[in-house]
Amino acid sequence: MPSSWDTRYRLSRLPKDIKEAKIADGTIHPGMQRKDARVLLLQYLPPPKPRKPRNPEADDAGKEHERLQRFFGALDAFLVEFKQRAVDTLDQIPATERAELFTALRQQIDELEQQFPAEAQQ
């Protein structure tokens, strides 16, 4: 067998019966080079399957979709944590003061909607 690991790896992809026959007839020998192994692979292995044509627009759309999923996943986690903290905090506030707090929160939300009108309507 050849001394190069890369050449040996390439030859290992040949079917066993073909490899044994090529060793017996001297085609595979210690001085064999990678290019010789490549020629054998081309002769005895089936051709590779054709690749699908690349669609950059679909790739870009897929990447954008993944980015949005990561973003909204993080946003969702933030909202869940925020809600839990709000509930924990509201439990500590007397019921008589909660009405004032909710009024103040509604005012803050109204101000945000005025600053970002397009996003508030979606």
Structure tokens at 85: 């903290």
Question: In the prediction, which pLDDT does 119 show?
Answer: 56
Question: In the prediction, which pLDDT does 58 show?
Answer: 60
CB within 8 Å of 55: residues ≥ 6 apart: none
Task: Please give the sequence-ordered ranges of beta strands (E in DSSP) within 45-93, or none if there are none.
Answer: none
Percent of the chain with pLDDT over 90: 7
Tell me the pTM.
0.39
Please check whether residue 26 is in contact with residue 34, taking contact to mean a CB–CB distance below 8 angstroms.
no
| CA 4/CA 36 separation, integer angstroms | 12
Per-residue pLDDT reduced to its tens digit, 20-76? 999 999 989 988 888 888 888 888 888 777 777 666 666 666 677 677 777 777 777
